[in-house]
Amino acid sequence: MQLEFITKPEEVATSTAVTWQRRYDVDWLRTLAMGLLIIYHVVVGFQPWASFIGFIQNEQPLEELWIIMSLLNVWRIPIVFMISGMGVRFAIERRDWKQLLKDRTLRILLPFIFGFFFITPISAYLLVDYYDWGVAYIPNPGHLWFLANIFLYVLLLLPLLFYLKNRPDNVVLRFLANVMQRPWGLFILAIPMMLEAWLVNPEYFSAYALTPHGFWLGMVCFITGFVFIAMKGVFWQAVERVRLGALVVAFLLYLVRLMVFELDETSIPNALIAFESLSWMLAILGYGSIYLNKPSSRLSYFSQAVYPVYIVHLPVQYAISYYLLPLPLPAILKLIVLLIGTFGVSLFMYEYALRRLKWIRPLFGMKLNHS
């Protein structure tokens, strides 16, 4: 359950309020972000370089789709880390450090270890067999790599996280609370992301998986999400105020990438991409706060389904691709079938197997009992 203090902006650092409110928008954004990752993976299979990064590739590419995917690419993974940091800040309001570690071990580390040995090797097997690269059992992090990052962030940052929780009147949070009440003050938190991009200087900003850049950027976004929630009502008011401006800035910077640099990340300053990334995330959080912070039966279902569905989706995608992509059908038809099939089969597995078998639920990040 995700909750937030109800407090006035000037009380952000000293409030002892005990009234709580569910943040349905954070649940929605987590669900939508994971869903976008699935769509992204399906579209990758229709790019001319898909096989080079370990995807089963359609012979006829749909390169025009990458114009849209490039818009998502700079924030699709950072927002997952940011929302994870938000979730940890919510969680520690009702847990001590031992309870937090136990919860994250069961919900994140256990599914990662299980997936490493029993889920991602299925994708690897289908890939190497499809291209006749031999047949092998290859344990690997695969599409679950970011789960290991999140668990490490919790483990490494544990003293800092509880320090910030137990001392809400510290000078850093007071300073940020004051800055956030100023126009565009939220953008001060672009500085850590820009510094990371400048110091690590990756060849491709969007190369997140299993890279030093992905690790450090993920940590910055995780801490940023944690701090956002620590600001309580001040953050939500600030992000709602800045949402339109952030959206305009983000879209203009995307147009610069598209029209000036032709989406070539190697020629764009990484710090500029980092600023665009934060702008997208602020816009998304701002509009989400206004339009998504309401209960919904669909949210109740999909927020529980999206994690196990994400875990199984790539083997499902590869299995369908194995038989679908060699067929002499139009590429766009294959894309539609693959999208529907990946989501449909993954949801079917969740509904009729994963959520109903008590012993298997923890392996896919679910609690033992139905909720």
Q: How do residues 151-167 score in pLDDT, each as one tens digit?
A: 999 999 999 999 999 98
For residue 204, give the H/E element and its range: none
Strand ranges (E), the chain: 3-5, 20-22
User: So what's the pLDDT on residue 18?
Assistant: 38
**Side-chain-facing half-sphere of 117: CA atoms under 13 Å:** 6
Residue 336 has pLDDT above 90, yes or no: yes
CB-count exposure of residue 96 (10 Å: 0-12, 13-18, 19+)? exposed
**Side-chain-facing half-sphere of 83: CA atoms under 13 Å:** 25
Residue 371 has pLDDT above 80, yes or no: no
Give mean pLDDT, residues 63-84.
95
Helices 297-324 and 331-349: crossing angle in degrees, nearest 10, is 130
Residue-by-residue DSSP string for 147-184: HHHHHHHHHHHHHHHHHHHH-TTSHHHHHHHHHHTSTT
- Model confidence, pTM: 0.92
Q: Which amino acid is at 95?
A: R
d(CA 287, CA 297): 20
> Residue-wise over 292-319: b if at least 16 C-beta within 10 A, else e?
bbeeeeebeebbbbbbbbbbbbbbbbbb
Q: How do residues 21-67 score in pLDDT, each as one tens digit?
A: 678 999 999 999 999 999 999 999 999 999 999 999 999 999 999 99
C-beta separation of 197 from 254 below 8 A: no
User: So what's the pLDDT on residue 136?
Assistant: 82
User: So what's the pLDDT on residue 315?
Assistant: 98
Residue 345 has pLDDT above 80, yes or no: yes
Give mean pLDDT, residues 180-207.
93
d(CA 222, CA 149): 10
Give the number of other Cβ atoms within 10 Å of residue 261's Cβ.
Answer: 15
User: What backbone phi and psi angles, to 5 degrees, belong to 20?
Assistant: -125, 160
Residue-by-residue DSSP string for 34-99: HHHHHHHHHHHTTSTTGGGGT----SS--GGGHHHHHHHHTTTTHHHHHHHHHHHHHHTTS--HHH
Q: Which value, to the nearest 10 degrees, does the dihedral of the CA atoms of residues 344, 350, 352, 354 take?
A: 150
Helices 24-44 and 331-349: crossing angle in degrees, nearest 10, is 130
Residue 12 has pLDDT above 60, yes or no: no
Q: How do residues 217-274 score in pLDDT, each as one tens digit?
A: 999 999 999 999 998 889 999 999 999 999 999 999 999 999 999 999 889 999 999 9
Give mean pLDDT, residues 99-117.
96
Give mean pLDDT, residues 58-86.
95
Q: Residue with structure tokens 């400048």?
A: 198
